[in-house]
Amino acid sequence: MSDWLAALDRRAELRAKAGLTRTLRPRAAADDDIVDLAGNDYLGLSRHPAVTAAATAALDEYGLGATGSRLVRGSTAPHHALEEDLAGWLGAERALLFSSGYLANVGAVRGLVRPRTLLVSDAHNHASLIDGCRISGAETMVTPHADVDAVRAALAAAPGRPAVVVTESVFSVDGDLAPLAELHAVAREHNALLLVDDAHGLGVVGPGGAGGAAAAGLAGEPDVIVTATLSKALGGAGGVVAAPAEFVRHLVDTGRTFIFDTAPPPAVAAGVRAAMELAWSGEQLRVELGDRVAYAVRRLRAAGLTGSAPKGAVVSVTAPGPEAAVAWATDCRDRGVAVGCFRPPSTPDSRSRLRLTINVGVPRADFERALEVIVECAP
Protein backbone atom coordinates (compact mmCIF):
# COMPACT_ATOMS: atom_id res chain seq x y z
CA MET A 1 0.00 0.00 0.00
CA SER A 2 2.96 2.35 0.52
CA ASP A 3 4.33 1.83 -3.02
CA TRP A 4 2.40 4.77 -4.39
CA LEU A 5 3.83 7.08 -1.72
CA ALA A 6 7.35 5.85 -2.46
CA ALA A 7 6.75 6.55 -6.14
CA LEU A 8 5.68 10.09 -5.31
CA ASP A 9 8.83 10.57 -3.22
CA ARG A 10 10.96 9.40 -6.12
CA ARG A 11 9.26 11.81 -8.48
CA ALA A 12 9.81 14.62 -5.98
CA GLU A 13 13.53 13.75 -5.84
CA LEU A 14 13.76 13.92 -9.63
CA ARG A 15 12.03 17.31 -9.65
CA ALA A 16 14.41 18.57 -6.97
CA LYS A 17 17.44 17.49 -9.03
CA ALA A 18 16.01 19.36 -12.01
CA GLY A 19 15.43 22.49 -9.95
CA LEU A 20 11.64 22.16 -10.22
CA THR A 21 10.62 21.97 -6.56
CA ARG A 22 7.92 24.47 -5.63
CA THR A 23 7.43 25.91 -2.16
CA LEU A 24 4.45 27.49 -0.44
CA ARG A 25 5.36 30.53 1.65
CA PRO A 26 2.84 32.47 3.73
CA ARG A 27 2.75 36.13 2.75
CA ALA A 28 2.90 38.68 5.54
CA ALA A 29 0.53 41.62 5.83
CA ALA A 30 0.26 44.03 2.93
CA ASP A 31 2.36 46.59 4.77
CA ASP A 32 5.43 44.32 5.08
CA ASP A 33 8.83 45.43 3.80
CA ILE A 34 8.81 43.28 0.65
CA VAL A 35 8.63 45.16 -2.67
CA ASP A 36 6.09 43.18 -4.66
CA LEU A 37 7.03 42.59 -8.31
CA ALA A 38 5.51 39.11 -8.28
CA GLY A 39 1.80 39.67 -7.67
CA ASN A 40 -0.62 40.81 -10.36
CA ASP A 41 -2.07 43.93 -8.72
CA TYR A 42 -0.99 46.04 -11.71
CA LEU A 43 -2.94 49.19 -10.84
CA GLY A 44 -2.49 48.90 -7.08
CA LEU A 45 -6.25 48.67 -6.51
CA SER A 46 -6.48 45.69 -4.16
CA ARG A 47 -6.20 47.94 -1.09
CA HIS A 48 -7.69 51.14 -2.49
CA PRO A 49 -10.00 52.69 0.12
CA ALA A 50 -12.98 52.77 -2.26
CA VAL A 51 -12.49 49.09 -3.05
CA THR A 52 -12.16 47.89 0.52
CA ALA A 53 -15.07 50.10 1.61
CA ALA A 54 -17.36 48.59 -1.03
CA ALA A 55 -16.29 45.07 -0.07
CA THR A 56 -16.78 45.81 3.63
CA ALA A 57 -20.29 47.13 3.09
CA ALA A 58 -21.26 44.02 1.14
CA LEU A 59 -19.61 41.80 3.74
CA ASP A 60 -21.77 43.40 6.43
CA GLU A 61 -24.90 42.97 4.32
CA TYR A 62 -24.41 39.45 2.90
CA GLY A 63 -21.88 37.74 5.15
CA LEU A 64 -18.72 35.90 4.20
CA GLY A 65 -19.80 33.64 1.34
CA ALA A 66 -22.44 33.44 -1.36
CA THR A 67 -23.79 30.25 0.36
CA GLY A 68 -24.55 28.48 -2.90
CA SER A 69 -24.18 28.29 -6.64
CA ARG A 70 -25.51 31.13 -8.77
CA LEU A 71 -28.58 29.10 -9.77
CA VAL A 72 -29.49 28.17 -6.20
CA ARG A 73 -28.93 30.99 -3.70
CA GLY A 74 -25.64 32.47 -4.82
CA SER A 75 -26.83 35.28 -7.10
CA THR A 76 -26.93 38.64 -5.33
CA ALA A 77 -27.33 42.25 -6.36
CA PRO A 78 -23.53 42.81 -6.36
CA HIS A 79 -23.07 39.91 -8.80
CA HIS A 80 -25.64 41.22 -11.26
CA ALA A 81 -24.44 44.83 -10.99
CA LEU A 82 -20.86 43.75 -11.69
CA GLU A 83 -21.92 41.65 -14.68
CA GLU A 84 -23.83 44.57 -16.15
CA ASP A 85 -20.90 46.96 -15.68
CA LEU A 86 -18.37 44.49 -17.07
CA ALA A 87 -20.49 43.96 -20.18
CA GLY A 88 -20.62 47.70 -20.69
CA TRP A 89 -16.88 48.12 -20.15
CA LEU A 90 -15.98 45.32 -22.54
CA GLY A 91 -18.59 46.26 -25.13
CA ALA A 92 -20.33 42.89 -24.95
CA GLU A 93 -24.03 42.09 -24.89
CA ARG A 94 -23.71 40.18 -21.65
CA ALA A 95 -21.13 39.09 -19.08
CA LEU A 96 -21.19 36.11 -16.75
CA LEU A 97 -19.22 35.79 -13.51
CA PHE A 98 -17.30 32.69 -12.49
CA SER A 99 -15.44 32.05 -9.26
CA SER A 100 -12.06 32.14 -11.04
CA GLY A 101 -10.54 33.01 -14.37
CA TYR A 102 -9.44 29.39 -14.67
CA LEU A 103 -13.03 28.13 -14.48
CA ALA A 104 -14.20 30.87 -16.85
CA ASN A 105 -11.70 29.67 -19.47
CA VAL A 106 -12.49 25.99 -19.03
CA GLY A 107 -16.21 26.74 -19.19
CA ALA A 108 -15.96 29.00 -22.22
CA VAL A 109 -13.86 26.59 -24.29
CA ARG A 110 -16.10 23.66 -23.42
CA GLY A 111 -19.21 25.71 -24.18
CA LEU A 112 -17.98 26.57 -27.67
CA VAL A 113 -17.39 22.98 -28.72
CA ARG A 114 -19.88 21.22 -30.97
CA PRO A 115 -19.50 17.92 -32.82
CA ARG A 116 -16.44 18.00 -35.13
CA THR A 117 -15.17 21.30 -33.68
CA LEU A 118 -11.51 22.10 -34.28
CA LEU A 119 -9.72 24.17 -31.63
CA VAL A 120 -6.68 26.11 -32.86
CA SER A 121 -4.65 27.01 -29.78
CA ASP A 122 -1.54 29.20 -29.47
CA ALA A 123 1.52 27.36 -28.13
CA HIS A 124 1.99 29.93 -25.34
CA ASN A 125 -1.58 29.79 -24.04
CA HIS A 126 -2.24 29.63 -20.31
CA ALA A 127 -2.80 26.28 -18.62
CA SER A 128 -6.49 27.08 -18.14
CA LEU A 129 -6.99 27.35 -21.90
CA ILE A 130 -4.96 24.20 -22.49
CA ASP A 131 -7.02 22.32 -19.92
CA GLY A 132 -10.22 23.70 -21.43
CA CYS A 133 -9.21 22.30 -24.79
CA ARG A 134 -8.37 18.92 -23.27
CA ILE A 135 -11.52 18.67 -21.17
CA SER A 136 -13.69 19.62 -24.14
CA GLY A 137 -12.61 16.46 -25.97
CA ALA A 138 -12.35 18.36 -29.24
CA GLU A 139 -9.50 17.96 -31.67
CA THR A 140 -6.91 20.61 -30.85
CA MET A 141 -4.25 21.93 -33.19
CA VAL A 142 -1.47 23.77 -31.34
CA THR A 143 0.10 26.42 -33.56
CA PRO A 144 3.43 28.21 -33.11
CA HIS A 145 3.25 31.29 -30.92
CA ALA A 146 1.52 34.31 -32.51
CA ASP A 147 1.81 32.72 -35.96
CA VAL A 148 -1.14 33.97 -38.02
CA ASP A 149 -0.10 31.98 -41.09
CA ALA A 150 -0.09 28.76 -39.08
CA VAL A 151 -3.59 29.52 -37.83
CA ARG A 152 -4.72 30.17 -41.38
CA ALA A 153 -3.24 26.89 -42.54
CA ALA A 154 -4.90 24.95 -39.69
CA LEU A 155 -8.30 26.40 -40.51
CA ALA A 156 -7.87 25.91 -44.25
CA ALA A 157 -7.09 22.24 -43.64
CA ALA A 158 -10.48 21.73 -41.96
CA PRO A 159 -13.03 23.18 -44.40
CA GLY A 160 -16.64 23.07 -43.30
CA ARG A 161 -15.86 22.19 -39.70
CA PRO A 162 -16.82 24.46 -36.80
CA ALA A 163 -13.63 25.98 -35.42
CA VAL A 164 -12.44 28.23 -32.60
CA VAL A 165 -9.16 30.14 -32.53
CA VAL A 166 -7.99 30.27 -28.91
CA THR A 167 -5.48 32.86 -27.71
CA GLU A 168 -4.50 35.17 -24.91
CA SER A 169 -4.37 38.91 -25.56
CA VAL A 170 -1.35 39.80 -23.43
CA PHE A 171 0.54 36.56 -22.91
CA SER A 172 1.22 35.72 -19.30
CA VAL A 173 4.85 34.61 -19.64
CA ASP A 174 6.53 37.33 -21.72
CA GLY A 175 3.83 40.02 -21.78
CA ASP A 176 3.70 40.23 -25.57
CA LEU A 177 0.47 41.14 -27.36
CA ALA A 178 -1.25 38.70 -29.69
CA PRO A 179 -1.98 39.86 -33.27
CA LEU A 180 -5.70 39.91 -32.47
CA ALA A 181 -6.94 41.91 -35.46
CA GLU A 182 -5.12 39.60 -37.86
CA LEU A 183 -6.31 36.48 -36.02
CA HIS A 184 -9.88 37.74 -36.15
CA ALA A 185 -9.66 38.43 -39.87
CA VAL A 186 -8.37 34.90 -40.51
CA ALA A 187 -10.99 33.37 -38.22
CA ARG A 188 -13.80 35.28 -39.94
CA GLU A 189 -12.47 34.31 -43.35
CA HIS A 190 -12.95 30.66 -42.35
CA ASN A 191 -16.21 31.17 -40.43
CA ALA A 192 -14.44 30.41 -37.14
CA LEU A 193 -14.88 32.00 -33.72
CA LEU A 194 -12.17 33.82 -31.78
CA LEU A 195 -11.76 33.27 -28.04
CA VAL A 196 -9.54 35.85 -26.33
CA ASP A 197 -8.31 35.43 -22.77
CA ASP A 198 -7.82 39.06 -21.68
CA ALA A 199 -6.56 38.25 -18.17
CA HIS A 200 -3.39 40.34 -18.45
CA GLY A 201 -4.92 42.95 -20.76
CA LEU A 202 -8.00 43.98 -18.80
CA GLY A 203 -7.38 47.27 -17.02
CA VAL A 204 -3.94 47.60 -18.60
CA VAL A 205 -4.41 48.11 -22.36
CA GLY A 206 -7.17 49.35 -24.63
CA PRO A 207 -9.51 52.34 -24.46
CA GLY A 208 -10.43 52.96 -20.84
CA GLY A 209 -8.44 49.85 -19.95
CA ALA A 210 -11.05 47.65 -21.65
CA GLY A 211 -8.41 45.12 -22.68
CA GLY A 212 -6.63 43.74 -25.70
CA ALA A 213 -9.75 42.81 -27.64
CA ALA A 214 -11.03 46.38 -27.35
CA ALA A 215 -7.60 47.71 -28.31
CA ALA A 216 -7.81 45.65 -31.50
CA GLY A 217 -11.27 47.05 -32.29
CA LEU A 218 -13.02 43.74 -31.61
CA ALA A 219 -15.28 44.76 -28.74
CA GLY A 220 -18.81 43.52 -29.30
CA GLU A 221 -18.06 41.54 -32.45
CA PRO A 222 -20.54 38.65 -32.65
CA ASP A 223 -17.83 36.08 -33.37
CA VAL A 224 -15.52 37.13 -30.50
CA ILE A 225 -15.72 35.77 -26.96
CA VAL A 226 -13.65 37.47 -24.26
CA THR A 227 -12.68 35.90 -20.96
CA ALA A 228 -10.73 37.50 -18.13
CA THR A 229 -9.80 37.13 -14.52
CA LEU A 230 -10.78 39.76 -11.97
CA SER A 231 -7.74 39.00 -9.82
CA LYS A 232 -5.08 40.98 -11.66
CA ALA A 233 -5.53 44.66 -12.56
CA LEU A 234 -8.80 44.73 -10.61
CA GLY A 235 -7.13 43.33 -7.51
CA GLY A 236 -9.96 40.95 -6.57
CA ALA A 237 -10.94 37.41 -7.48
CA GLY A 238 -13.18 35.63 -9.95
CA GLY A 239 -13.50 35.37 -13.70
CA VAL A 240 -15.79 36.62 -16.44
CA VAL A 241 -16.98 35.58 -19.88
CA ALA A 242 -18.17 38.50 -22.03
CA ALA A 243 -20.00 37.43 -25.16
CA PRO A 244 -23.20 37.58 -27.20
CA ALA A 245 -26.30 37.02 -25.08
CA GLU A 246 -27.01 33.67 -26.71
CA PHE A 247 -23.68 32.24 -25.59
CA VAL A 248 -24.06 33.52 -22.03
CA ARG A 249 -27.50 31.89 -21.91
CA HIS A 250 -25.90 28.66 -23.16
CA LEU A 251 -23.33 28.79 -20.33
CA VAL A 252 -26.01 29.43 -17.71
CA ASP A 253 -27.94 26.40 -18.96
CA THR A 254 -25.06 24.00 -19.63
CA GLY A 255 -21.77 25.29 -18.25
CA ARG A 256 -20.56 22.82 -15.63
CA THR A 257 -17.93 25.16 -14.17
CA PHE A 258 -20.71 27.71 -13.66
CA ILE A 259 -23.66 25.53 -12.62
CA PHE A 260 -21.87 23.31 -10.12
CA ASP A 261 -19.60 25.87 -8.46
CA THR A 262 -20.31 28.12 -5.49
CA ALA A 263 -20.68 31.74 -6.55
CA PRO A 264 -17.94 34.27 -5.76
CA PRO A 265 -18.53 36.02 -2.40
CA PRO A 266 -20.78 39.09 -2.76
CA ALA A 267 -18.14 41.19 -0.97
CA VAL A 268 -15.61 40.30 -3.66
CA ALA A 269 -18.07 41.19 -6.42
CA ALA A 270 -18.78 44.56 -4.79
CA GLY A 271 -15.09 45.29 -4.31
CA VAL A 272 -14.24 44.33 -7.89
CA ARG A 273 -17.01 46.59 -9.17
CA ALA A 274 -15.48 49.53 -7.30
CA ALA A 275 -12.05 48.61 -8.68
CA MET A 276 -13.49 48.41 -12.19
CA GLU A 277 -14.83 51.96 -11.92
CA LEU A 278 -11.39 53.17 -10.83
CA ALA A 279 -9.67 51.25 -13.62
CA TRP A 280 -12.14 52.52 -16.22
CA SER A 281 -11.24 56.13 -15.42
CA GLY A 282 -7.64 55.43 -14.40
CA GLU A 283 -5.78 56.61 -17.49
CA GLN A 284 -3.05 58.20 -15.39
CA LEU A 285 -2.47 54.86 -13.69
CA ARG A 286 -1.94 53.24 -17.09
CA VAL A 287 0.42 56.02 -18.17
CA GLU A 288 2.52 55.48 -15.06
CA LEU A 289 2.38 51.72 -15.57
CA GLY A 290 3.66 52.06 -19.14
CA ASP A 291 6.43 54.40 -18.02
CA ARG A 292 7.58 51.90 -15.39
CA VAL A 293 7.54 49.02 -17.85
CA ALA A 294 9.73 51.01 -20.27
CA TYR A 295 12.08 51.98 -17.44
CA ALA A 296 12.41 48.35 -16.32
CA VAL A 297 13.22 47.15 -19.85
CA ARG A 298 15.86 49.86 -20.29
CA ARG A 299 17.50 49.16 -16.94
CA LEU A 300 17.62 45.39 -17.41
CA ARG A 301 18.99 45.64 -20.92
CA ALA A 302 21.61 48.16 -19.82
CA ALA A 303 22.80 45.52 -17.37
CA GLY A 304 23.20 43.02 -20.20
CA LEU A 305 20.17 40.93 -19.24
CA THR A 306 17.91 39.39 -21.88
CA GLY A 307 14.23 40.10 -21.43
CA SER A 308 10.95 40.82 -23.10
CA ALA A 309 9.73 44.17 -24.42
CA PRO A 310 6.08 43.78 -23.48
CA LYS A 311 2.94 45.59 -24.51
CA GLY A 312 1.35 44.89 -21.13
CA ALA A 313 2.81 44.97 -17.64
CA VAL A 314 4.66 41.63 -17.59
CA VAL A 315 8.44 41.77 -18.01
CA SER A 316 10.33 38.48 -18.22
CA VAL A 317 14.10 38.11 -17.79
CA THR A 318 15.87 35.00 -19.03
CA ALA A 319 17.72 32.84 -16.49
CA PRO A 320 20.45 30.31 -17.39
CA GLY A 321 18.34 27.41 -16.10
CA PRO A 322 15.78 26.39 -13.49
CA GLU A 323 18.24 26.14 -10.59
CA ALA A 324 19.75 29.52 -11.45
CA ALA A 325 16.27 31.03 -11.66
CA VAL A 326 15.37 29.71 -8.20
CA ALA A 327 18.64 30.99 -6.71
CA TRP A 328 18.16 34.38 -8.37
CA ALA A 329 14.61 34.75 -7.07
CA THR A 330 15.68 33.61 -3.60
CA ASP A 331 18.52 36.13 -3.47
CA CYS A 332 16.12 38.89 -4.50
CA ARG A 333 13.67 37.89 -1.80
CA ASP A 334 16.40 37.81 0.82
CA ARG A 335 17.07 41.43 -0.11
CA GLY A 336 13.41 42.43 0.09
CA VAL A 337 12.18 42.04 -3.48
CA ALA A 338 9.56 39.47 -4.52
CA VAL A 339 9.73 38.32 -8.16
CA GLY A 340 8.06 35.53 -10.07
CA CYS A 341 10.16 32.47 -10.88
CA PHE A 342 8.94 30.62 -13.97
CA ARG A 343 10.39 27.23 -14.87
CA PRO A 344 9.21 24.26 -16.90
CA PRO A 345 6.48 23.07 -17.09
CA SER A 346 5.08 26.56 -16.43
CA THR A 347 6.96 27.95 -19.42
CA PRO A 348 5.79 26.90 -22.88
CA ASP A 349 9.27 27.11 -24.42
CA SER A 350 11.19 25.24 -21.66
CA ARG A 351 13.10 28.45 -20.91
CA SER A 352 13.44 29.53 -17.28
CA ARG A 353 13.01 33.18 -16.39
CA LEU A 354 12.13 35.63 -13.71
CA ARG A 355 8.79 37.31 -14.30
CA LEU A 356 8.33 40.85 -13.05
CA THR A 357 4.78 42.14 -12.82
CA ILE A 358 4.90 45.90 -12.63
CA ASN A 359 2.70 47.44 -9.94
CA VAL A 360 2.00 51.18 -9.73
CA GLY A 361 0.95 50.72 -6.10
CA VAL A 362 4.65 50.30 -5.23
CA PRO A 363 6.30 53.67 -4.44
CA ARG A 364 8.49 54.76 -7.35
CA ALA A 365 11.67 54.88 -5.28
CA ASP A 366 11.05 51.32 -4.04
CA PHE A 367 10.37 50.17 -7.58
CA GLU A 368 13.65 51.58 -8.88
CA ARG A 369 15.55 50.13 -5.91
CA ALA A 370 13.99 46.73 -6.60
CA LEU A 371 15.33 46.79 -10.16
CA GLU A 372 18.82 47.48 -8.82
CA VAL A 373 18.50 44.47 -6.52
CA ILE A 374 17.39 42.27 -9.44
CA VAL A 375 20.41 43.41 -11.49
CA GLU A 376 22.84 42.91 -8.59
CA CYS A 377 21.55 39.41 -7.85
CA ALA A 378 21.67 38.24 -11.47
CA PRO A 379 23.63 34.98 -11.95
Question: How many CB atoms neighbour CB 161 within 10 A?
Answer: 16
172 is catalytic: yes
Burial of 40 (0-12, 13-18, 19+ CB in 10 A): buried
Is residue 56 within 8 A of residue 267, CB to CB? The reply is yes
346 is catalytic: no
Per annotation, catalytic residue among 124, 190, 232, 311:
232
Pairing of strands 353-357, 337-342: antiparallel
Q: Rounded to 5 degrees, what angle do the CA atoms 136, 138, 142 make?
A: 105
Pairing of strands 163-168, 193-197: parallel
124 is catalytic: no
Per annotation, catalytic residue among 169, 172, 308, 359:
172
311 is catalytic: no
Backbone CA torsion sign across 296, 233, 218, 185: positive
Give the span between the Cα atoms of 102 and 123, in whole angstroms. 17
Quick one: which H or E segment has residue 293?
A: helix 283-302
DSSP 141-176: EEE-TT-HHHHHHHHHTSTTS-EEEEEESB-TTT-P
Per annotation, catalytic residue among 197, 231, 316, 359:
197
The answer for residues whose C-beta is within 8 angstroms of residue 295's C-beta and 6 or more apart is 368, 371
Give the span between the Cα atoms of 240 and 227, in whole angstroms. 6
80 is catalytic: no
Per annotation, catalytic residue among 36, 40, 122, 176:
40
Annotated catalytic residues are 40, 126, 168, 172, 197, 200, 232
